[in-house]
């Protein structure tokens, strides 16, 4: 059974990740125009009509913007925490309630996938990341979090693939044009992860041999640069004397799909 993973887009302008394993496929978030999401899935050689579900991490626009139109084209269940789905229902009252499948923080099964929500700290109703186990392989997606809690560490460790937020460079954010209140929000415990914090988590995971492929996600357009995010991570790994394969640390993009990851 081949597993395919692709970040279709990642960043504050819109997030969506495609994951396929055997006969099951899911989308994690639908944060940009549905027509573009559908086109992106086709562009990577996959079939959007085979989607089994849409997993939602939280209700911010950059994660749900395409949901209405996507459901019109492909009426799949929308899975998320009760509080997240409640906000989505209020925002899009014309989406029929029959689409919504609320979860709590417990593991659940969807086709070939065993999915565990990972609670995260972010300024949303009840945000989560997801760790998805498929026949012994594990893929975790955690973005939009103010800090790395012990729940996040235990939720992601040992993943064969981890998409982790590397949102901003703290200096760029402090010296950039963002108003102070917004800087505080991003840097706060319910905001976003900096490159350095992402680098520390990745170092910790590599030190304990608990990491596989890493994708850096949700990079800020104004307060980060792809090379800077990558360098912050790789220089920390080098400083700590950790061996890693350059190919195993990858970037996601704001305006196009990432490199596809495939596992047998
Ligand atoms: Zn976001
Ligand atoms: Zn968010």
Q: Is the dihedral of CA 102, 106, 107, 108 positive or negative?
A: negative
Q: How much is the average pLDDT of 210-231?
A: 96
CA of 50 to the centre of ligand 2 (A): 27
Indicate the pTM of the whole model.
Answer: 0.97
Whether 264 shows a pLDDT value over 90: the answer reads no
CA of 150 to the centre of ligand 2 (A): 20
Whether 212 shows a pLDDT value over 80: the answer reads yes
Q: How far apart are CA 132 and CA 8, in angstroms?
A: 18
Q: How much is the average pLDDT of 210-238?
A: 97
Partners of 97 in beta bridges = none
Ligand lying closest to the C-alpha of residue 58: 2
Q: Which residue has the tokens 């609320």?
A: 102
Can you name the CATH fold of 3-257? Metallo-beta-lactamase; Chain A (3.60.15)
pLDDT digit string, tens, across residues 105-164: 999 999 999 999 999 999 999 999 999 999 899 999 999 999 999 999 999 999 999 999
pLDDT at 1: 76
pLDDT at 215: 98
CA of 219 to the centre of ligand 1 (A): 10
* 2 band by pLDDT with thresholds 50, 70 and 90: confident
CA of 119 to the centre of ligand 1 (A): 15
* 83 band by pLDDT with thresholds 50, 70 and 90: very high
Count Cβ neighbours within 10 Å for each residue of 116-126 and write b for 16 or more, e otherwise.
Answer: bbbbbbbebbb
What are the strands of the beta sheet with 3-9, ordered from one edge?
Answer: 100-103, 78-81, 53-55, 24-28, 16-21, 3-9, 261-263
CA of 15 to the centre of ligand 2 (A): 10
In a 13 Å sphere around the CA of 93, the CA atoms on its Cβ side amount to 1
CA of 12 to the centre of ligand 1 (A): 5
- Tokens standing for 88? 């989505």
Share of the chain above pLDDT 90, in %: 95
Q: How far apart are CA 157 and CA 131, in angstroms?
A: 10
pLDDT at 139: 97
Q: How far apart are CA 143 and CA 164, in angstroms?
A: 6
Count Cβ neighbours within 10 Å for each residue of 170-188 and write b for 16 or more, e otherwise.
Answer: eebbeeeebeeeebeebee
Ligand lying closest to the C-alpha of residue 124: 2
Domain map of the chain by residue range?
A: 3-257
Whether 10 shows a pLDDT value over 90: the answer reads yes
Ligand lying closest to the C-alpha of residue 145: 2
CA of 218 to the centre of ligand 2 (A): 10
Ligand lying closest to the C-alpha of residue 16: 1
Share of the chain above pLDDT 70, in %: 100
pLDDT at 254: 95
* 209 band by pLDDT with thresholds 50, 70 and 90: confident
CA of 237 to the centre of ligand 2 (A): 28
One-character DSSP codes across the chain:
--EEEEEEE-STT--EEEEEETTEEEEE---S-HHHHHHHHHHTT--GGG--EEE-S---HHHHTTHHHHHHHS---EEEEHHHHHHHHHH-TTS-GGGEEEE-SS-EEETTEEEEEEE--SSSSS-EEEEEEETTEEEEEE-S-SS--HHHHHHHTTEEEEEEE--B-HHHHHHSS--HHHHHHHHSTTS--BHHHHHHHHHHHHHTT-EEEEEEE---SSS--HHHHHHHHHHHHHHTT----GGGEEE--SSS----EEE-
Q: Which residues contact 190 (CB under 8 A, 6 or more apart)?
A: 121, 122, 123, 146
């Amino acid at each position: 059974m081949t597993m395919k993973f692709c970040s279709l887009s990642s960043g504050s302008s819109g997030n969506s990740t495609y994951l396929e394993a055997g006969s099951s496929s899911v989308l994690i978030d639908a944060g940009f125009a549905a027509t573009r999401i559908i086109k992106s899935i086709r562009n990577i050689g996959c079939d959007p009509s085979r989607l089994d579900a849409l997993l939602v991490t939280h209700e911010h626009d950059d994660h749900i913007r395409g949901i209405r139109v996507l459901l019109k084209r492909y009426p799949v269940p929308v899975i998320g925490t009760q509080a997240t789905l409640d906000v989505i229902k209020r925002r899009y009252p014309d989406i029929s309630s029959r689409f919504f499948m609320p979860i709590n923080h417990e593991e659940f099964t969807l086709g070939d996938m065993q999915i565990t929500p990972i609670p995260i700290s972010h300024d949303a109703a009840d945000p989560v990341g997801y760790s998805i186990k498929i026949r012994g392989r594990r893929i975790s997606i955690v973005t939009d979090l103010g800090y790395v809690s012990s729940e996040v560490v235990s939720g992601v460790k040992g993943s064969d693939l981890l998409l982790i937020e590397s949102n901003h460079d703290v200096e760029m954010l402090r010296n950039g044009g963002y108003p102070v209140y917004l800087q505080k929000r991003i840097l706060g415990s319910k905001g976003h992860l900096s490159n350095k914090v992402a680098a520390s988590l990745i170092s910790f995971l590599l030190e304990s041999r608990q990491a596989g492929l890493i994708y850096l996600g949700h990079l800020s357009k104004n307060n980060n640069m792809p090379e800077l995010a990558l360098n912050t991570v790789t220089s920390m790994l080098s400083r700590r004397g950790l061996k890693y394969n350059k190919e195993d640390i990858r970037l996601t993009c704001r305006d196009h799909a990432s490199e596809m990851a495939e596992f047998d």
